[in-house]
Amino acid sequence: MRLRWVWLFVIMLLLAGCQPSYWVLEKERIGEGSSDLEIYANYLQMHDDVKGYQVFTISEGKKMVVVSLGSSEKDKKLEVSDVKFTRKETIVTVKRKHASKANETNPYILIGMDKIEGDLIVQDESGDRFEETDYQQ
């Protein structure tokens, strides 16, 4: 009986390890992603009306999704609420939180992913979708 529980645990670990993963890159480390990320972050601060998301390819083919709120929400910050991967789509859900101090003209978050499966959907917790920005890389 005990051996069955051990096998079940091992199988669960293996299955969990097969899922694509994501992470949030600290803004102080933005230079580690690619120079394009730094350029885009500066672009967002100079063009504070840009609201939406932009996808970048970083090292080893991994992806970085940059989501920005625009200056109308400069008193907010973004956190990842959930990331779901299916064969047809990748859904990134972000949460707006009050920032104790507004230190950015255009708040943004850097979400790294091993890969994007199918269509990318970026939304907030109420289901409102962000559109891809028209930024030219």
d(CA 108, CA 51): 9
- Is 16 inside a domain boundary? no
Predicted model pTM? 0.83
Query: Strands (DSSP E) along 6-130, which ranges?
Result: 22-24, 52-57, 63-68, 76-85, 89-98, 108-113, 119-124
* Structural domain span for residue 97: 21-124
Q: What DSSP element (H or E) covers 37? A: helix 35-46
The domain tally of the chain equals: 1
Model confidence over 87-133: pLDDT tens digits? 999 999 999 998 887 678 999 999 999 999 999 999 999 999 999 99
Q: What pLDDT was estimated at residue 64?
A: 95
DSSP β-ladder status, 52-57 and 63-68:
antiparallel
- Is 6 inside a domain boundary? no
